[in-house]
Amino acid sequence: MDRLRVALVAHDEKKPDLVAWVEQHRQHFKGFELFATGTTGLRVTERCPELPVKRLKSGPLGGDQQIGAMIAERTLDALIFFVDPLSPHPHDVDVKALTRLAIVYDIPFALNRATAEMMLAELCLARRAVD
Protein backbone atom coordinates (compact mmCIF):
# COMPACT_ATOMS: atom_id res chain seq x y z
CA MET A 1 0.00 0.00 0.00
CA ASP A 2 1.13 3.52 -0.66
CA ARG A 3 1.94 5.60 2.38
CA LEU A 4 -0.98 7.49 3.86
CA ARG A 5 -0.82 11.19 3.08
CA VAL A 6 -1.52 13.43 6.07
CA ALA A 7 -1.57 17.23 6.21
CA LEU A 8 -0.59 19.14 9.35
CA VAL A 9 -1.86 22.67 9.96
CA ALA A 10 -2.03 24.81 13.09
CA HIS A 11 -3.04 28.33 13.96
CA ASP A 12 -0.17 30.38 15.42
CA GLU A 13 -1.15 29.88 19.07
CA LYS A 14 -1.54 26.12 18.51
CA LYS A 15 1.69 25.49 16.61
CA PRO A 16 3.65 24.55 19.77
CA ASP A 17 0.92 22.06 20.72
CA LEU A 18 0.89 20.44 17.29
CA VAL A 19 4.67 20.24 17.10
CA ALA A 20 4.88 18.67 20.57
CA TRP A 21 2.15 16.19 19.63
CA VAL A 22 3.93 15.19 16.40
CA GLU A 23 7.18 14.83 18.32
CA GLN A 24 5.44 12.59 20.85
CA HIS A 25 4.21 10.36 18.00
CA ARG A 26 7.20 10.67 15.69
CA GLN A 27 7.58 6.89 15.34
CA HIS A 28 4.06 6.62 13.93
CA PHE A 29 4.53 9.55 11.59
CA LYS A 30 7.55 7.91 9.95
CA GLY A 31 5.07 5.70 8.12
CA PHE A 32 3.13 8.58 6.57
CA GLU A 33 3.74 11.03 3.78
CA LEU A 34 3.47 14.38 5.56
CA PHE A 35 2.49 17.78 4.21
CA ALA A 36 2.28 20.99 6.21
CA THR A 37 1.70 24.67 5.73
CA GLY A 38 4.86 26.80 5.83
CA THR A 39 5.67 27.71 9.41
CA THR A 40 4.04 24.60 10.86
CA GLY A 41 6.15 22.43 8.55
CA LEU A 42 9.30 24.33 9.47
CA ARG A 43 8.70 23.86 13.18
CA VAL A 44 7.94 20.16 12.79
CA THR A 45 11.13 19.56 10.80
CA GLU A 46 13.19 21.52 13.33
CA ARG A 47 11.94 19.26 16.16
CA CYS A 48 11.73 16.04 14.14
CA PRO A 49 14.34 16.26 11.38
CA GLU A 50 13.95 12.57 10.55
CA LEU A 51 10.38 13.16 9.37
CA PRO A 52 10.19 14.14 5.71
CA VAL A 53 7.62 16.93 5.65
CA LYS A 54 6.72 18.56 2.36
CA ARG A 55 6.27 22.22 3.21
CA LEU A 56 3.63 24.13 1.34
CA LYS A 57 3.05 27.88 1.38
CA SER A 58 2.09 29.63 4.59
CA GLY A 59 -1.65 29.32 5.26
CA PRO A 60 -2.54 32.96 4.54
CA LEU A 61 -0.34 32.94 1.42
CA GLY A 62 -2.06 29.97 -0.21
CA GLY A 63 -1.08 26.94 1.86
CA ASP A 64 -4.67 26.36 2.97
CA GLN A 65 -5.74 26.39 -0.68
CA GLN A 66 -2.95 23.99 -1.62
CA ILE A 67 -4.20 21.53 0.98
CA GLY A 68 -7.77 22.13 -0.17
CA ALA A 69 -6.75 21.28 -3.73
CA MET A 70 -5.14 18.05 -2.52
CA ILE A 71 -8.38 17.15 -0.77
CA ALA A 72 -10.46 17.92 -3.89
CA GLU A 73 -8.06 15.91 -6.07
CA ARG A 74 -8.23 13.06 -3.55
CA THR A 75 -4.46 13.06 -3.04
CA LEU A 76 -4.76 13.61 0.73
CA ASP A 77 -5.97 10.95 3.16
CA ALA A 78 -6.34 12.93 6.39
CA LEU A 79 -6.07 16.44 7.81
CA ILE A 80 -4.93 17.41 11.29
CA PHE A 81 -5.60 21.08 11.98
CA PHE A 82 -5.02 22.35 15.52
CA VAL A 83 -7.43 25.29 15.59
CA ASP A 84 -7.28 28.25 17.96
CA PRO A 85 -10.93 29.20 18.49
CA LEU A 86 -10.12 32.09 20.83
CA SER A 87 -8.13 34.34 18.48
CA PRO A 88 -9.23 36.21 15.38
CA HIS A 89 -7.73 34.98 12.10
CA PRO A 90 -7.43 37.34 9.15
CA HIS A 91 -7.63 34.44 6.69
CA ASP A 92 -10.70 32.89 8.34
CA VAL A 93 -12.42 32.56 4.97
CA ASP A 94 -9.61 30.27 3.78
CA VAL A 95 -9.92 28.15 6.91
CA LYS A 96 -13.68 27.81 6.38
CA ALA A 97 -13.12 26.76 2.77
CA LEU A 98 -10.61 24.12 3.88
CA THR A 99 -13.04 22.84 6.50
CA ARG A 100 -15.83 22.68 3.92
CA LEU A 101 -13.67 20.64 1.52
CA ALA A 102 -12.68 18.17 4.24
CA ILE A 103 -16.37 17.65 5.01
CA VAL A 104 -17.52 17.48 1.37
CA TYR A 105 -14.83 14.95 0.43
CA ASP A 106 -15.34 13.06 3.70
CA ILE A 107 -11.72 12.74 4.79
CA PRO A 108 -10.70 12.19 8.42
CA PHE A 109 -10.31 15.65 9.92
CA ALA A 110 -9.07 16.34 13.46
CA LEU A 111 -9.37 19.82 14.96
CA ASN A 112 -7.80 19.18 18.36
CA ARG A 113 -5.42 16.87 20.20
CA ALA A 114 -8.10 14.50 21.52
CA THR A 115 -9.53 13.84 18.07
CA ALA A 116 -6.06 13.68 16.52
CA GLU A 117 -5.10 10.95 19.02
CA MET A 118 -8.09 8.85 17.99
CA MET A 119 -7.52 9.47 14.31
CA LEU A 120 -3.82 8.60 14.50
CA ALA A 121 -4.63 5.33 16.25
CA GLU A 122 -7.10 4.42 13.51
CA LEU A 123 -4.73 5.44 10.70
CA CYS A 124 -1.99 3.28 12.21
CA LEU A 125 -4.39 0.33 12.48
CA ALA A 126 -5.50 0.79 8.89
CA ARG A 127 -1.89 0.94 7.72
CA ARG A 128 -1.01 -2.27 9.60
CA ALA A 129 -4.07 -4.08 8.24
CA VAL A 130 -2.90 -3.70 4.65
CA ASP A 131 0.87 -3.95 5.16
CATH number of residue 15's parent domain? 3.40.50.1380
Helix, strand, coil share (%) of the chain residues, nearest 5: 55, 15, 30
Domain extent for 91: 4-130
Instruction: Determine contact, residues 17/82, Cβ cutoff 8 Å.
Output: yes
Dist CA 6 CA 38 (whole Å): 15
Dist CA 110 CA 108 (whole Å): 7
Dist CA 15 CA 83 (whole Å): 9
Residues known to be catalytic:
64
Number of domains in the chain: 1
Dist CA 12 CA 19 (whole Å): 11
Q: Can you give the pLDDT of all 131 residues of the chain as single tens digits?
A: 478 999 999 999 999 999 999 999 999 999 899 999 999 999 999 999 999 999 999 988 899 999 999 999 999 999 999 998 887 767 677 788 899 999 999 999 999 999 999 999 999 888 776 66
Please tell me the pTM assigned to this model: 0.93
